[in-house]
Structure 1
């Protein structure tokens, strides 16, 4: 089956000698759309829970909305690139040849990704500084973030150009961007884990929390089963008693619960008992009584 599209000589040379394809753009747009769904789920979870309104925490809502807006614009940009390449200009090499040069919304895809990454890295760098108050490690992290954003910005003008110098500059700026992003992510992760490491020692005193949590979970399961099997709400309410203030983990009147009973045993030696009796039988009248 022959094609009905008439190609210009330049387009024919482009089609015959092309070394790239449109598949990576399609896969990138598909993955970007899936990750945008994950972002929406995280934003919903954020607004579903109670938030603190003191210090810098009051600005977290604006930060979440800003990152969500950037992510939405990035996903829209990826969808637009795939739509134009594969639907509007399908099998049109004249457009495909000059699209990367003329379309700013396709040329700036790496820049949009770099902006989102820099904003998120800045948030975690600020979080590390609030935990450690260590400027010595915060400054290198900030330099790596700024260098990564600057390098991806410098790569945008040289990406459309086709020359030996432009190709070398493109590879150099993108390489600097990837290395800077990796260094910033590694320093943020390593430093945050190191500063949080001493706080794990405080959990050693909570050894009794694990069995208590287990018993409470079992009691909750039993209570849920009893509630599900009972068809009369009034009968179930009459069987419940007021929770006591001791270490019981559930009402004692409900069958099937697991609870804890504590017993206090006091050992009294004979010598201490005789001494206590003598003190009560012959009090010292030289000292006043404490009434």
Structure 2
């Protein structure tokens, strides 16, 4: 009998899990999603990736990821990895800590270029930088557009025989002899040999039905997209570490920017039916941004 896998959550992690299981001929694969595909954080993500991380494990994992994104550009119709590179910015206080990692990058064969302010200005005239900054450029980095990647990945799953059930909420898990044996979704049992939970901020609410409590906290992240600009902005993806933000081109001749507030309070998901679309920006934010 063919093996059966159920993936709970139809975001990028769930779809990617399903796609690669099906690609490796795991057996029957079903994705169960309470809303639309990518309706959570996946459709709101910046999608920026760099291989210049802080640990050997992370660096090796990112090398695999960067290779796969380029391969997926040829496997998935409608998707292309935006290989514009990734510029990681540091100020005088934060650069020494990252500089100490350069020997690790060298040992693992990771490509990078250290750039000063003048070199960055000459390479990307559209990128206006102030202050004394050091740039660590990853030529293999870049980004994915969620609006393109998610539907392409979902179509790729279906082409491999994956069943995607939308508008189907998991209410319970089936446990048999101390092991996970499936889920109950919309009142129906779906038995499986493997169950994978990929529900992001809903994790605590979904897993509490089987008594699991993981050390997780959620925070609201601010991400903005500009109106179309008169001309394309030719810059790489930018991780502006000193400012707690990032910036990248966005399709439609726009820019995408995000910022994190280290003082942001924890956001507690009220229940499994919670939708991210119900989160609204603070009053007056539009005017303040102008």
Say whether the fold is shared (TM-score over 0.5).
no
Q: TM-score, normalised by structure 1?
A: 0.19
Larger-Rg structure: 1
Structure having the higher strand fraction is 2
Of Structure 1 and Structure 2, which has the larger fraction of its residues in helix?
1
